[in-house]
Amino acid sequence: MLVDLHVHTSVSSPCSQIEPRLLVRAAKEMGLDALCVTEHEELEGAEVARRLGEEAGFPVFRGVEVYTECGDMLVFGACRRRYPVTTPFAELLEEVRGLGGVIIPCHPCRGSLGFHHTLGEEKAEFLLSSVDAIEVRNGGSSPESNQAAEVYASHYGLPGVGGSDAHFIMQLGRCLTVFERDLGSEEELVEEIKAGRCRAAYAAEIEGLRTSSLWR
């Protein structure tokens, strides 16, 4: 199952120009099986996209991208409707754990030398022992940054996931997560990430994935 795990829309992310109805149409035309809308600090855009996905018969799962002092985190299965501009990582972790969700550092090595250089030894080790996966394919990061993230995931035995981090429709699907099993709900999305039954990929690695007519 092909899922773009990291997409922003114009509903709740001012930095995005993707209209949710066109997002769902483009995802279907590309050959994606589902996508996750992960707005900055709030859930409204994901709710809108989920309803439009239901109308179109296309799964849209809800998530949030939350800024913490340890970097940006994708949260699934345990999302508040709104977060403050900065949420302490320990507070977010406690909340996500209590609600049974997953927490994933996104684009962690973009513009940096990695967790230990940015956070220091103690905080980096705490973070890496606490999260459920690492985004190792991010469409807005360089191949070198993605490779550095993949090294972390491998060293710490964490699943690697991928998402386009799309803010414009033509960016959709440039990085993906390939799930071994079909996902019928957000609960199953969380379960499969926790179980590690997924891998990250670039779009170019996926046979049969095509360009949406919206891009032509």
For residue 103, the SS3 value is strand
What spatial distance separates the first Cα and last Cα of the chain, rounded to whole Å?
26
pTM of the model: 0.95
pLDDT of residue 216: 62
Q: Mean pLDDT over residues 187-192, rounded?
A: 98
Query: For all residues of the chain together, what is the average pLDDT?
Result: 95
Examine the pLDDT at 215 and tell me if it is beyond 80: no
- Percent of the chain whose pLDDT exceeds 90: 90
Measured CA to CA, the distance from residue 18 to residue 171 in angstroms comes to: 10
**Residue 116 CB-half CA count within 13 A:** 6
Domains and CATH numbers, the chain: 2-215 (3.20.20.140)
